[in-house]
Amino acid sequence: MPLVKTWQLIAGSAVAGLALSVAAVAAAGPWDSGQRKAERDRAASWSRTGGADHGGGPGSGALPEAAPSAPGVLGAIGPGVPRGQSAPAAPAAAGGLAAALKPLLADPALGTVRTASVVDTATGQVLYESGARDAMTPASTVKIATAAAALAALGPEHRIRTTVTPDAAPGQIVLVGGGDPSLTAKKKSPAGSGGSLVALAGDTAQALKAAGTDTVTLGYDDSLYTGPARHPIGVNPNIAPVAALTADEGRPDDSTSGPVDRSDDPARDAARAFRTLLAERGIKVTGEPAKAKAAAGVQPLAVTLSTPVAGLVERMLTSSDNDIAEALARQTALASGRPASFEGAEQAVTDRLTALGIDTSGSRFADGSGLNRADKISAGLLTGLLTKAADPQRPELRPVLTGLPVAGFTGTLKARNSGSSPAAGLLRAKTGTLSGVNSLSGTVVDPSGRLLAFAFLTANTPGPEGAEKALDKLAAAVATAS
């Protein structure tokens, strides 16, 4: 599709969201290569002149009309400002923004340390900052950095492979994990599209039967990742052991997000599930699946592919998915020639962001998810990344913006800045929460039609509820100040 200004894309989706019910927005999905089908259809349905067919229905005789151009949908937002040029009213706008933010930043609910950065993404102009270069523990807002690094390293359309290969001896096969965090053992994953052990088992069974084989032994290879599988926080319901072979994020139920006790050995459990799926398709597996090393250079019997990286990034940001975050960090390491470990991922993410022109001095990316308190980034780094993602010359980074939850509508912002809030539907942001740490970083369209990037990071907050309300007020002020 032709490149258009990213603020137009984001604004169009936001304004369309305001015109529809919360129920319609809650049905968002499925994920489609970094672009939400539901959001695309909602934007079209806001205007009866095109897009998804919302005509008279069967028997009406009406044909779908052509989709409107972006200017037609976004005319109410106002013209954009060419990149590199300053908006004429910027000084006044910056003054009004500072007057609105300073008293809100003084709220004791934000703890003893609070930093802020607000930037015009079209011009790069700093509209407000306070401690914007101070390194802070970011919690889950570090996922913005993980997303940008993964997209830069892999590209938005890259897919991760899970394969089945023949072993050296006849009648032996190996299930080889490639690190796909979307891999599922369910017939229809509640999380959406991704790699499928069900499809992989069907293709494997077909290949074996074609070769005259109906009995095999099954090995599994999860050696792609190195170093500790456990996150430094230890056993925790918010994340499974980080393994190159994992089905359904090691979840024992149909949940797709949120805390739940996980498998202690995701690779083994995925192999057991695959054994069952093979048996259901007429292939007998003798004995228990055992760890094995796949032979190099062997043609696979069957392959299943993950959701494209763009879609994985959107899932991760919308639901604050820690498992996807750690998988993407390791995939970034692999693409960068680094070991697929916590340490290798840290080095790779740092290198990729530096290559994007981001100042990473004083930063540390100890993990991809933000669960590690050793992570250190600044508010200025976050707004720098969001501005980079809005650059028309960096279309590969766009899922960093489209994956952000929408205030009052989706993901971790569904219940925040909702209802009558002036930011509802206009604000997209990543949340961050650890004990005593609360953060919020994202984008919003201001009254003049500019797409602004913002980041607010805090420390030593007395409680999450008060801190989140205070952060929401700050974000709403960015949306309304002029």
Q: Quickly list DSSP for 347-368.
A: HHHHHHHHHTT---TT-B-S-S
Q: What is the H or E stretch that residue 268 is in?
A: helix 266-280
Is 320 an annotated catalytic residue? yes
Q: Could you tell me where the beta strands, DSSP code E, fall in 149-214?
A: 161-166, 172-176
Rounded to whole angstroms, how far apart are CA atoms 368 and 346?
A: 8
Say which of 13, 117, 189, 320 is annotated catalytic: 320
Q: Which of 306, 122, 119, 340 is nearest to 228 (CA)?
A: 340
Q: Tokens 């970011």 map to which residue?
A: 138
Is the peptide bond between 30 and the residue preceding it cis, with omega within 30 degrees of 0? yes
Cis bond upstream, residue 82 (ω within 30): no
Distance between CA 408 and CA 415 in Å, rounded?
Answer: 5
Distance CA 256, CA 397 (A): 25
The token pair at 311 is 């879609």
| Residue found by looking up tokens 């002020």 in the block | 477
Residue with tokens 């950095």: 145
Q: How far is CA 70 from each of CA 2, 78, 307, 385, rounded to the nearest angstrom?
A: 11, 12, 28, 25
Q: In the annotation, is 140 catalytic?
A: yes
The secondary element (H helix, E strand) that includes residue 175 is strand 172-176
- Spell out a b/e string for 373-400, using b for 16 or more CB atoms within 10 Å of the CB, else e: bebbbbbbbbbbbbbbbbbeebebbbbb
Burial 156-167, CB ≥16 within 10 A → b, else e: bebbbebbbbbb
Looking at this protein, which amino acid is placed at residue 238? N
* Catalytic residue from among 5, 13, 117, 140: 140
C-beta neighbour count of 5 within 10 angstroms:
20
DSSP letters spanning 41-52: HHHHHHSTTSSS
**Using CA atoms, how far apart are residues 86 and 90, in angstroms rounded to an integer?**
7
Residue 374 to residues 75, 232, 364, Cα–Cα distance (Å): 45, 10, 7
Single-letter code of the amino acid located at 434: L
Q: Which of 143, 388, 430, 473 is catalytic?
A: 143
| Rounded distance between C-alpha atoms, residue 424 and residue 464, angstroms | 20
Specify whether 336 is catalytic: no
Among 306, 431, 435, CA closest to 369: 431
Helix (H, G, I), strand (E, B) or coil at 152: helix
**Residue positions annotated with a catalytic role:** 140, 143, 320
